[in-house]
Amino acid sequence: MFPFKNNIVLVRNSNRNLYLQLCDQIIGFIKSGKLPPSTKLPGSRKLAESLSVHRKTVISAYEELISQGWIETIPTKGTFVTSSLPIVNPKNFVQPVLQNNIKEKSGFSFLTRSHLIRKPKHKIDQKMLVVDDGCPDHRLAPIEEIAKVYRNITKKSHYENLLTYNSTYGNLELRKSLVTYLNQTRGLHITVDNILITRGSQMGIYLNSQLLLSAKNKVIVVGNTNYMTADNTFKEAGARIEQVPVDDQGLDTNAIEKLCKIKQINAVYTTSHHHHPTTVTLSAERRMHLLQLAQYYNFAIIEDDYDYDFHYNNAPILPLASNDDHGNVIYIGGFTKIIAPAIRIGYLIAPKDFVGEAARLRRIIDRQGDTLLEQTLAQMISTGDVQRHCNKVLKIYKTRRDLFCSLLKEKLGDYFDFEIPKGGMAIWVKLNKAYNWDVICNEAEKLDIELNPDWRRYDNDNSRHNGIRMGFASLNEEEIREVIERLVKVFELVKQKHNKLIT
């Protein structure tokens, strides 16, 4: 007789009814071959006694199992596992079947991409202060306004059609609002036909990579060093990546020209406004040069303007897309940085034929976006709410940038070298080469600071520049002071240990 008592675990305070828990476990035994077809099951009274449950629980479980076809009753003989079920190789009885048994290993093969594995973050708890690589402060997101507009939309009967399948290009109202918004704020000259709504900038990068680079021998030029996720996306498409230097003027366009002379270039990826990771702005001269090269050598410029709105010293520099007279620029942006990373709405702006192709490709990845949220945003752009929010956070982030930079210089200037970034949400900080980020990150963790544990991703090339991005925007002023204070302690500890080692 199968030892039910030892193998069945019933959790009384679970949300799942006891009789259903019993069913689940008996089905598990049948599926795993522990209870082969035609096995006799104990009578309901006996099983109820051995499991210390009411007899009705067992009866209900048996009824459920009969109705699902797992077991059958044979008059005058008893209850049995259904004889016609296929025979499964029996497994031994030792392991009790646990509720919520988490499956860890697949029973099939699939492709793995080890280059996409990211070093796990430290365990974050309340005490832990996280210095990210340049994220917005989601605590400032105008969530109540968003909720209010969203709720109003769902109340109006003429918005019901938003709940059904809609255009793959994205919500028309949002595309219309974006025409005005982007033409006014970015100096673009676009119509709705030039806009595809995406789920954030990353989807734009992905669509570009598939459309421009997935055929054989396609080449994309990126800066050294570059936004690693973009590099990974291009590699995933099968592209060959050519790197060119990045200096205080941004991408070296002379190096791009040299490459163009010796090989066919299909695209250049640029974060022209604030280069990721170093934060420098592509100079006006190089912008014009890059546009001329794109026109002459017929390549696409993927302009990832992920943090356009955050420029502190002067008005934002208009994107390359605003000077693109020959249809070479594909412009990517979105609201994940202005509002919050979870508001997954972005856009891809390009000539109409390319947008059409991108929309067709998007259809097979993600049929359409979140139409209700897109409608909400359309209204908030038209009423000026988005721009007002943007102006508000811009002021806050500027204050945070200034505080972070001045404290970093004052208290930790011996260890870090950096320029005050003109924009964005992060500082490109180079650690004095006498120190190692692994050691600093480990010591920082002991004092409850999460520094970028995945810092090597900024140095794909192993050039040992010792630089990482330190985000200032997501920390409030009190948190910034606390981070700097703790970092001062980290360096004191590291120095003490180091001195001990050499004395």
Cβ at position 423, least distance to ligand PLP in Å: 13
Per CB under 6 A, the segment of 21-29, 200-208, 238-246, 451-459 that binds ligand PLP is: 200-208
| Cis-peptide into 225, omega within 30 deg | yes
Binding-site residue total for ligand PLP (CB under 6 A)? 12
- For ligand PLP, which residue of 170, 319, 334, 423 counts as binding (CB under 6 A)? 334
Contacts of 260 (CB under 8 A, 6+ apart): 293, 296, 297, 299
Q: Please, what is the minimum distance in Å from the beta carbon of residue 276 to ligand PLP?
A: 4
CB half-sphere exposure, 80, CA atoms < 13 A: 15
Residue 92, classed as helix, strand or coil, is coil
Helix 385-412, helix 477-502: angle, nearest 10:
30
Residue from 132, 173, 304, 374 touching ligand PLP (CB under 6 A): that is 304
Closest CB to ligand PLP among 306 and 354? 306
Q: Which residues contact 60 (CB under 8 A, 6 or more apart)?
A: 19
Do 355 and 195 meet the contact criterion of CB atoms below 8 Å apart?
Answer: yes
Q: Which residues of 307-328 are buried (b: 16+ CB within 10 A; e: fewer)?
A: bbbbbbeeebbbbbbbebeeeb
Amino acid identity for residue 101 in this structure: N
Q: Give yes or no for residue 2 binding ligand PLP (CB under 6 A).
A: no
User: Which of 70, 227, 234, 418 contacts ligand PLP by CB under 6 A?
Assistant: 227
Which of 79, 194, 201, 474 touches ligand PLP by CB under 6 A? 201
Position among 336, 371, 376, 452 found at the interface with ligand PLP (CB under 6 A):
336
Q: Are 437 and 466 in contact (CB under 8 A)?
A: yes
User: Side-chain half-sphere of 190: how many Cα atoms within 13 Å?
Assistant: 34
* Stretch binding ligand PLP (CB under 6 A), from 170-178, 198-206, 362-370, 384-392: 198-206
247-276 residues near ligand PLP, rule: CB under 6 A: 271, 276
Residues in the chain: 503
Among 42, 200, 369, 423, binds ligand PLP (CB under 6 A): 200
Residue 96 CA to residue 93 CA, distance in Å, equals 7
For the chain, state the CA radius of gyration.
30
Residue with CB nearest ligand PLP?
A: 200
Strands (E) located in 396-440: 416-417, 426-431
Q: Which amino acid is at 451?
A: L
Q: Are 422 and 103 in contact (CB under 8 A)?
A: no
From residue 290, alpha-carbon distances to 189, 286, 294, 350 in Å are 19, 6, 6, 17
Task: Identify which of residues 316 and 346 has a Cβ nearer to ligand PLP in the complex.
Answer: 346
- Cα–Cα distance measured from residue 468 to residue 416, given in angstroms and rounded to the nearest whole number: 10
3-state SS, 112-180, equals: CCHHHCCCCCCCCCCCCEECCCCCCCHHHCCHHHHHHHHHHHHHCHHHHHHHCCCCCCCCHHHHHHHHH
Which CB atom, from 34 or from 337, has the smaller least distance to ligand PLP? 337
Tell me the closest approach of the beta carbon of residue 67 to ligand PLP, in angstroms. Answer: 47
CB of 149 to ligand PLP, least distance (A): 21
* Among the listed residues 306, 354, 415, 418, the single contact to ligand PLP using CB under 6 A: 306
- Smallest gap, in angstroms, from Cβ of residue 200 to ligand PLP? 3
Contact flag: residue 341 with ligand PLP (CB under 6 A): yes
In the complex, the smallest distance separating the C-beta of residue 271 from ligand PLP, rounded to whole angstroms, is 5
By the rule CB under 6 A, 421 interacts with ligand PLP: no
Q: Which is nearer to ligand PLP, 327 or 341 (CB)?
A: 341
Compute the least distance from the CB of residue 125 to ligand PLP, in Å.
24
Stretch that binds ligand PLP, among 334-342, 378-386, 436-444, 486-494 (CB under 6 A): 334-342
Using the minimum distance from each CB to ligand PLP, give the nearer residue, 341 or 351: 341
Beta-bridge partner residues of 195? 349
N-terminal to C-terminal alpha carbon distance within the chain: 71
x/- string (CB under 6 A) for ligand PLP, residues 29-68? ----------------------------------------
Q: Which is nearer to ligand PLP, 201 or 466 (CB)?
A: 201
Task: Determine which residue in the list 170, 250, 319, 346 makes contact with ligand PLP, applying CB under 6 A.
Answer: 346
Binding site for ligand PLP (CB under 6 A): 200-202, 227, 271, 276, 304, 306, 334, 336, 341, 346
